[in-house]
Amino acid sequence: MPMRGKDKNRIGLFFGSFNPIHIGHLMIASYMVEFTDLSRVWFVVSPHNPLKEKNSLLAGHHRLAMVNLAIEEDPRFLSSGIEFHLPQPSYTIDTLYALEEKYSDKQFVIIAGTDFLPDFHRWKDHETLAERFDMYIYPRPGSQDLLHSPEKFPRMHRIAAPLLEISSSFLRQNIRERKDVRYFLPEKVYRYIREMHFYEDGSNH
């Protein structure tokens, strides 16, 4: 991956449902800011990934609230709920166009885990997306060797971030099973989930 030094206008976009946000997300975001040319990371909370099931998906304002609780004391991070104001379902390419229009001075980079690669061909305008935007790809369990050949997508860059086994689905399942997962979540997020009784019965609220 080419390193040009820090550019205050070069922003990493970390897309996700963040259902819920956990320490793994924060570790990846921190790695991207500290070890690449990105100056900041924006957490783009998605209403619903068209390629995923909607089971146990909390209402968007709750997931956005948890992201804000997780990052509120770190100036390197920002949350974005822009996809809640775009036509549904949300597609990454449309979100990027909207962000470019709103923030014309910024250069956006997509942050994604290797687990997105098997379905990338199903993304809307995926070839245009890969041609126009840099993509910083971090390893995910079971899929870290699936990065497409650089000849096909030269703007995809493998980032040697730590391989983390933690996932939101793991947390939801263990909250449902009454396991103590407090150390997998930012403290304020953990308290919010407990106070609201989220994920305890496996349904969305």
The span from the CA of 114 to the CA of 20, in Å, is: 20
Please give the domain boundaries of the chain with CATH numbers for all domains. 10-196 (3.40.50.620)
Q: How far is CA 198 from CA 41, 178, 193, in A?
A: 26, 12, 5
pLDDT tens digits, one per residue of 127-146: 999 999 999 999 988 775 55
pLDDT for residue 201: 85
pTM of the model: 0.91
CB 61 within 8 A of CB 100: no
Under-50 pLDDT residues of the chain: 2
In contact, 48 and 90? CB cutoff 8 Å: yes
Q: What is the pLDDT of residue 8?
A: 87
